[in-house]
Amino acid sequence: MKQSLHDDQIQSQMLPGVLTRDGMLGEDRRKLRDILEADDAAVRRLGLTHARIAARMRELRDVGAAGLGQALDVLDHFEVRVDSARGGLPCPFLHEGLFAKEYVEVLNRRSGERLTFTELNIHMIEAHGFYEGVGSFFRQDPQALARVLEIQA
Amino acid sequence: MTALLIAIGVICAINLVLTVLLLLADATIANYGSCTVTVNGEKRLTVEGGRSLLASLKQEQIFIPSACGGRGSCGLCKVVVLDGAGPLLPTELPWLSPEEQRTQVRLACQVKVKRDLQIRIPEALFSVRQYQTEVSGLVDLTHDIKQVTLKLIEPREITFVAGQYIQLEVPPYALTDEPVYRAYSVSSAAAQKDAVELEIRYVPNGICTTYVHRHLKVGDRVTINGPYGEFRLRESEREMICIAGGSGMAPIKSILLEMARTRNPRKCRYFFGARARRDLFLLDEMRELEQALPDFRFIPALSAPDEEDAWEGERGLITEVVARHVDDASQAEAYLCGSPLMIDACVKVLREKGIPEERIFYDKFA
């Protein structure tokens, strides 16, 4: 699909210094529409959906949040720490409202791999299929998510 | 070929002219000149137009609290702008309640000074000052919390109330190309006026915490401003229930030190939550306070102690431990400091134990 003017407007919100210091695109120079389509294809190749991935992220976030900022051992072999800072961030896709500045650190004890994602990441994947640009600090690679969080097709 | 070169040359020349015109326009049309900002109907400041209200006030040594460095993502820098600010911006709306919008509250970081402004700010902010300091101590309290001691250089003394916080300025470095400010509670005694002590927990990719944990050295110069905040010991004889976790220790410790100095006889229980032994710190200092204060008890609790910790103290999440220890708290008051998640969970437990919301005081800085 061709990038629309609306997509341009959204992509401008993702640039460094607009909503966040580093932005959400990293070194990715592709159009937003191309980023979305490439990740959508990657998710389909995994036999997953954005909703399924977001649901697993939220499941881990919710059980980890009970630790009140301390790491918890959850779901057999995961260690999850959910912490939060004062303030909130708006979604670059121009919704109303704010998302808590909350980050979730997940350690898969079985594989030793770690992931860190935010409340906003979960929303952007669930609602927009957006995993951030390649090189962005909070970029969530669909394959890494599926592997580390053990999301089954 | 010649025609192509001429065409390229013409395009370059046009681009150059357009660029010069844009630069001229920016320097003239967007030049707002000097503007007057009248504060609380009395103080008149002459500032250069075109900058944010937050930056303009800082230039005039009036410091409005801000935890996000002026990006409109913390909602702290609220001021009343009575005249001259223009319409509310979409970036402000999420932070302002209908009542605040009605009473002309604005985010100082989002309001650009383009004409004369009339604003209203709390009088207490006039006593906020900027301080040049030198790092005189850096101690690893745990694997991810550092104690930073800043000796005051100019001015040489600070007056604050135990529980308040300061803002630390991070200079440009690898993670930021402009100075940014972050808020940290003071952990040292208010009676000690020539230095402030902070407890700073490392946050992944955090601008300030990375700077403090990876770059700051003893002897470095650091700029701070403050003090700020309403978190402080209330005058009463009620039993106190204090709850903190991680670097939330800081303001509670400062309050306890002040209580020890004034020989405050109030009953006080301090619940401190951590995951394992390696996340606990200042245990000796807390035991000393138990000796110094007539009715003070420190109750550390571990949610997942390691086997080698051989932990015999309280176990469980801090909310569970508080629920076990506190029966009827309807006459008590509570002081909390920690992440928003922890505060929200603790407020729920304390409400269930009978403490009315207006007697639960907290500092939600993570």
Contacts of B93 in chain A (CB under 8 A): 96
**The pLDDT of residue B51 is above 60:** yes
**The pLDDT of residue B27 is above 60:** no
Q: What per-residue confidence (pLDDT) applies to A17?
A: 74
Least trusted range by pLDDT, from B58-62, B218-222, B235-239:
B58-62
Higher-pLDDT residue of B14, A25:
A25
Span B145-153, average pLDDT? 97
- Spans of chain A, pLDDT less than 50: none
**The pLDDT of residue B130 is above 80:** yes
Q: What per-residue confidence (pLDDT) applies to B296?
A: 97
Does the CB of A12 have a partner CB in chain B at under 8 Å?
no
Does the CB of B176 have a partner CB in chain A at under 8 Å?
yes
Q: What per-residue confidence (pLDDT) applies to B22?
A: 64
Q: Give me the DSSP letters along B250-261.
A: HHHHHHHHHHHH
Q: Which residue has the tokens 């005249």?
A: B83
Domain ranges of chain A: 5-148
For domain B34-125, the CATH architecture is Roll (3.10)
Q: What per-residue confidence (pLDDT) applies to B169?
A: 92
Does the CB of A69 have a partner CB in chain B at under 8 Å?
yes
pTM: 0.81
Q: What per-residue confidence (pLDDT) applies to B366?
A: 42
Report the CATH fold assignment for B240-363: Rossmann fold (3.40.50)
The full 3-state SS of B44-62, as one line of letters, equals: EEEEECCCEHHHHHHHCCC
Pick the residue from chain B with its C-alpha nearest to A94.
B90
B273 vs A72: CB contact, 8 Å cut-off? no
Nearest Cα to Cα of residue B190 among B146, B283, B123, B256: B256
Q: Give B128-228's CATH code, choosing from 3.40.50.300, 2.40.30.10, 2.60.120.200, 3.40.50.1240.
A: 2.40.30.10
The complex's ipTM?
0.73
A68 vs B275: CB contact, 8 Å cut-off? no
Pick the residue from chain A with its C-alpha nearest to B274.
A70
Span B127-132, average pLDDT? 93
Q: Measured between alpha carbons, how far is residue A95 from residues A69, A91, B88, B111, B304 in Å?
A: 28, 6, 17, 22, 39
Q: How confident is the model at residue B124 (pLDDT cuts 50, 70, 90)?
A: confident
Contact between residue B161 and residue B188 where contact means Cβ atoms under 8 Å apart: no
**Best interface-test mutation with A: which of B303, B350, B362 has the largest number of A CBs within 10 A?**
B303
Residue B261's contacts (CB-CB under 8 Å, 6 or more residues apart) are B189, B191
Q: Measured between alpha carbons, how far is residue B306 from residues A104, B134, B313, B318 in Å?
A: 22, 38, 13, 17
Domain ranges of chain B: 34-125, 128-228, 240-363
Does the CB of A26 have a partner CB in chain B at under 8 Å?
no
Q: What is the SS3 assignment for B301?
A: strand
Q: What per-residue confidence (pLDDT) applies to B358?
A: 94
Residues B197-222: tens digit of each pLDDT: 999 998 877 888 999 999 999 999 99
Span B172-201, average pLDDT? 91
**The pLDDT of residue B15 is above 80:** no
Residues B270-309: tens digit of each pLDDT: 999 998 999 999 999 999 999 999 999 999 999 989 889 9
Cα(A21)–Cα(B206) distance, integer angstroms: 11
Q: Which residue has the tokens 């134990």?
A: B353
**The pLDDT of residue B106 is above 70:** yes
